[in-house]
Amino acid sequence: MNKEQLVESARFIMKNAYIPYSKFPVGATLLLKDGTVINGVNVENVSFGATNCAERTAIFTAIAQGYKKGDFEAIAVAGDTEDFLPPCSICRQVLAEFCSPEMPVYLTNRKKEIKELTLRELLPYAFTDLEM
């Protein structure tokens, strides 16, 4: 799956987001090294701290399916935004836990433009087990 397909998958899955409070859908598509694709959406809760972001939904689903740290190839994040939609800080740290610092992260916007970063560029100075 190329980056355009990954981004389009993230844009498509946004419609499944559970967003009764913010009305702000986010979709994420995670590509695994074996070619498997796992989608995630944000799932809100009236207790906002219990809300789960699309990126974490995709990663946690992959872990629940038996994937391990290092099995992740790329992730695309989509929202209906003017600017590129980056993962929140919590999601960035979760990505740092399971993914290579060189893993591609594709961000998109409502104009369907794509910005490609590495995880390291998205989260410089990440807190990882290698630093302990």
85-132: per-residue pLDDT in tens?
A: 999 999 999 999 999 999 999 999 999 999 999 999 999 988 876 543
Residue 112 lies in a domain: yes
Quote the domain boundaries for residue 32: 3-121
| Residue the block writes with tokens 């995670």 | 30
Domain containing residue 59: CATH number: 3.40.140.10
- Does residue 126 lie in a domain region? no
- Asked if residue 91 belongs to a domain, the reply is yes
User: Is the entire prediction scored with pTM above 0.85?
Assistant: yes
Q: Write down the H helix ranges in the chain.
A: 3-13, 54-64, 89-98, 119-122
Q: 99: annotated binding-site residue? A: no
Q: What was the pLDDT predicted at 76? A: 98
**Measured distance CA(130)–CA(10) in Å, rounded:** 31
Structural domain contains residue 132? no
In a domain, 61, yes or no: yes
Answer whether 12's CB lies under 8 Å from 28's CB: no
- Give the catalytic positions in this structure: 55
Placement of tokens 């799932």 in the chain: 43
Per the DSSP assignment, residues forming a β-bridge with 37 are: 31
Of all residues in the chain, the percent with pLDDT exceeding 70 is 97
pLDDT at 129: 63
The number of folded domains in the chain is 1
